Chain A
Amino acid sequence: MKRRKSLAALTLTSLLAVTALSGCGSSGNDNENAAKATNTNKANASTNTSTEDATNKNTNAAANTTADATNATNTTNAAKLEGKVVFWSMWSNAEPQAKVIDEAVKEFEAANPAVDVEVKYNGRDITKLIKPALESGEQIDIFEQDPEKALSNLKDHVLKLDDLLAQPAIGSEGKSVKDSIIPSLMDWVKSLSVPAGLDEGYYAIPQQPYAVLFFYNKALFAKAGITAVPQTWEEFMADCELLKQSGVEPVTFDDAYRDLFIGGYLGSAMGSEWTDSLVKDKTGELWKDPIVLQFAKDMQTLEAKGYFSKKIAGNKYPAGQQDLAIGKTAMYLNGTWLPNEVAATAGPDFQWGSFQFPTVANGNGKGGQQGLSFGAQGLLINKDSKNANAAFELVKYLVGKKAQDGMSEQALAIPATTDSKWPAPLAEAAVAFSNAKVNMPWGFGIDNGGDFSTGTVIPAFMELATGKLTPEKYVAKMAAEAKKFYGGK
């Protein structure tokens, strides 16, 4: 225990050091590159400015196929591409994803020496920064965002990619970029366009797909004598009992993911549309649906039987997921990024398993395992980019097989390309992806009530999960609170 702690502290400090060092390193490189690029740019400036014009796409594509037989990487990009491409990434430069991106950029620059690439690692702050930056006209050619968020918030800034997607992919022989990526993700991205008020088409290239699943410690499951993952709520409860008897805490979660547990249950029973209408119900009557009482009773059972970790009420992210990583707790409901996040604590020998939220009885048939809360991050191109062709060429490297293999191996992320191997800790997640027919939003819709969700739904659930509210009182409270909250509107 003690050793773990000092190990964690050491990891933290070394991470900090690495951040600081790599920060210096990359800025140094940037300057170097910038200096190099300005020279080459000056030399080429007079010869070609056509890449700026979208209508020249076709001529460029034609040129692509004929030019550059000597290209070392055997890809079909044109040496004509030039200028500057600015890429805003959602990773921070200490994360393994950034290293994979750096390698892809290096390879791109080797093949396109006239293009100067500037990668800005914003980290998750990009969500706050991107909109004002795009609107103020800052040069950003490629940016990384959750496609769902990006299309609804930034729809005036996204470039339709349908034509570009037909270009051949890098590293996947004979396939277009579009065909090299997992089809269900492509379909999902396409399905977002019309609801966002755009023409139907592709505006984002999905990558880093994720799904919300229960992650479990296989060793603890085996020790408890559990042979198969639970499919139904009854099996789930039975497994909890076995785990508890074997001396481990069955389930835990952190404050940041409380919503997943509520949404997971209700979404599994009724589907996310119902959950959405539940938190937006102005009368409060929907909370009196028998399924809510059933949910409350099941949560009470989890609490009463000690299946929840004693610390769920106080867990501050990432305290709970660390408990999973050190083997104190058996299950944790989270996104597929979890094995990567806790890799330093869990160590290479941790046996990861995952399963979908169990099916819940007495639902309306719209939930179950056909619905999965999945998504992906997306690469998007700025509509006003002056260098869209070069930008797309870079994107091809970023979603090329080599980079995606790198994401899988180094960042334990699910590769977007169809023919890449999934990282071992996520092997079982493939089952959920193949079950899924319906995409459910984050939190299965439970967060859609805005202030009502954060201010009432989640705190009331915590009272339930810590045994401070009986199921009946929970239902009454929720119905009354909903009516009160929406009464003023």
Chain B
Amino acid sequence: MRLSKSMIALFLGPAVLIYLVIFLYPTARTLAMSFFTIPNLSSKMGEWKFVGFDNYADMFNSSYFIGSVKNVLGIWLIGGVLIFFFAFLYAVILTSGVKGKTFWRSLIFLPNTVSAVVMSVVWLQYIYNPSFGLLTSVFNRLGLTSLAEIQWTDNEHIYYAMIIAFSFGSIGYFMLILNAGINRIPADYYEVATIEGANPWIKFYRITLPLLRDVFRTTLVLWTITAFNFFVWSATFGLDDPHTVTPGYYMYQKVFGMSKASSMLGDESFNVGAGASVGILITLATLLASALINKLFPKDRLEY
């Protein structure tokens, strides 16, 4: 049956309208805001002061902001490698016919069901704690006192400590998607390969990986979006500490004026416009990264 154009418009209309109102309008408004100095979130347009690209220029001059960008790229890369390595590993193990599949899958996914704030308190106060944390206790028990004395949350270690803690909780989520992808691959291929004498590694590289490309691309985009918007763990691990700050948290500081001295500084740390420009940059970076990923992993439909 062919639908007339007006019919299509009628059905699409509500969805498009809602999309425009709740997504496109805020984005456009944020873009406009990024060119102004705005004292606070609810200021009327009349109170905005046009400053052109000053907000952007200030950001690129601030070593604090540049540091936050470096932090987030590091999180994307290091966290990405960690997460995908373990997510693939677990997904392959789980689909290889291991006993108690559902149990293991639930266990690995479990950290995702706990609030990020709770998870970070657990990591900070019970795992990394220098007096009675898990790491200290275990290393002491093993007699590795030099390892037990490491301050996992000091300036040198906190960044990696944060990435490890965060990745630990994220593996389950990506494992689940990859797991579903692998399950979709018909078993015949593996059977044939087994008959031909292929070992599990060859099966993984020659069958699983190529046929999973589509799913992998999607998870990579998802991961990129998650990483670029990294926020909660940055807040709980370091607050405004330059070693853990990310653009997402930097934006929050600018919009809500959470820096300790915001009362004395006025515009300096309480500038919604500057926050908006950070938001725009995050959006642009996400779009760019997604485009790059799509370019590197062309979308070809796999039929099986």
Chain A to chain B: the 8 pairs with minimum beta-carbon distance, closest first: A488-B61, A314-B151, A313-B154, A455-B64, A447-B261, A149-B263, A135-B42, A451-B64
State whether A152 and B61 are in contact (beta carbons under 8 Å apart), knowing that A5-B132, A450-B269 are contacts in the complex: no
Contacting residue for B263 out of A135, A146, A259, A454, CB 8 A: A146
**What range describes how many residues of B lie at the interface?**
35 or more
> In the complex, A450→B269 CA distance in Å?
6
How many pairs of A and B residues are in contact by the CB < 8 Å rule? 123
Contacting residue for A319 out of B64, B129, B155, CB 8 A: B129
Considering only residues 90-137 of chain B, those with a C-beta below 8 Å from chain A are 124-125, 128-132
Closest to A129 in B: B256
Given contacts A153-B262, A313-B154, 14 further A-B contacts (CB under 8 A): A153-B257, A153-B270, A311-B131, A316-B124, A443-B261, A447-B264, A448-B265, A450-B265, A453-B260, A453-B261, A454-B259, A455-B242, A488-B57, A489-B58
A-B pairs with beta carbons under 8 Å apart, 10 shown: A132-B40, A152-B264, A153-B270, A316-B124, A316-B128, A441-B264, A451-B64, A451-B269, A454-B64, A456-B242
Contacting residue for A450 out of B61, B242, B261, CB 8 A: B261
State whether A132 and B42 are in contact (beta carbons under 8 Å apart), knowing that A314-B152, A462-B155 are contacts in the complex: yes
User: Is A131 a contact of B153 with CB atoms below 8 Å?
Assistant: no
Contacting residue for B155 out of A442, A443, A459, A488, CB 8 A: A459
State whether A152 and B261 are in contact (beta carbons under 8 Å apart), knowing that A128-B256, A314-B153, A451-B64 are contacts in the complex: no
Considering only residues 293-322 of chain A, those with a C-beta below 8 Å from chain B are 310-311, 313-316, 319
User: Is B41 a contact of A450 with CB atoms below 8 Å?
Assistant: no
**In the complex, chain A residues whose CB is within 8 Å of the CB of B65:** 451
Closest to A485 in B: B63
A148 at the interface (CB under 8 A from B): yes
User: Is A149 a contact of B262 with CB atoms below 8 Å?
Assistant: yes
Closest to B42 in A: A135
**In the complex, chain B residues whose CB is within 8 Å of the CB of A459:** 155, 241-243
**In the complex, chain B residues whose CB is within 8 Å of the CB of A314:** 128, 130, 151-154, 157
* Whole-angstrom distance between the Cβ of B51 and the nearest chain A Cβ: 13
B191 at the interface (CB under 8 A from A): no
User: Is A152 a contact of B263 with CB atoms below 8 Å?
Assistant: yes
**In the complex, chain B residues whose CB is within 8 Å of the CB of A449:** 261
User: Is B62 a contact of A454 with CB atoms below 8 Å?
Assistant: no
Closest to A154 in B: B40
> In the complex, A454→B238 CA distance in Å?
11
* Whole-angstrom distance between the Cβ of A94 and the nearest chain B Cβ: 16
User: Is B263 a contact of A153 with CB atoms below 8 Å?
Assistant: yes
**In the complex, chain A residues whose CB is within 8 Å of the CB of B258:** 127-128
Considering only residues 122-179 of chain B, those with a C-beta below 8 Å from chain A are 124-125, 128-132, 149, 151-155, 157
**In the complex, chain A residues whose CB is within 8 Å of the CB of B124:** 316
A136 at the interface (CB under 8 A from B): yes
Contact with A along B51-63 (1 / 0, CB 8 A): 0000001100111
> In the complex, A132→B41 CA distance in Å?
7
**In the complex, chain B residues whose CB is within 8 Å of the CB of A259:** 260
Considering only residues 429-481 of chain A, those with a C-beta below 8 Å from chain B are 441-443, 447-456, 458-459, 462-463, 466
**In the complex, chain B residues whose CB is within 8 Å of the CB of A1:** 132
B74 at the interface (CB under 8 A from A): no
* Whole-angstrom distance between the Cβ of B269 and the nearest chain A Cβ: 5
B13 at the interface (CB under 8 A from A): no
Contacting residue for B62 out of A149, A276, A488, CB 8 A: A488
Closest to A136 in B: B42
B67 at the interface (CB under 8 A from A): yes
User: Is B63 a contact of A484 with CB atoms below 8 Å?
Assistant: yes
Considering only residues 207-244 of chain B, those with a C-beta below 8 Å from chain A are 237-243
B26 at the interface (CB under 8 A from A): no
**In the complex, chain B residues whose CB is within 8 Å of the CB of A153:** 40, 257, 262-263, 270
A255 at the interface (CB under 8 A from B): yes
> In the complex, A130→B101 CA distance in Å?
49
Which of B58, B129, B131, B266 counts the most A-chain CB atoms under 10 A from its CB? B131
**In the complex, chain A residues whose CB is within 8 Å of the CB of B151:** 311, 313-314
User: Is A455 a contact of B63 with CB atoms below 8 Å?
Assistant: yes
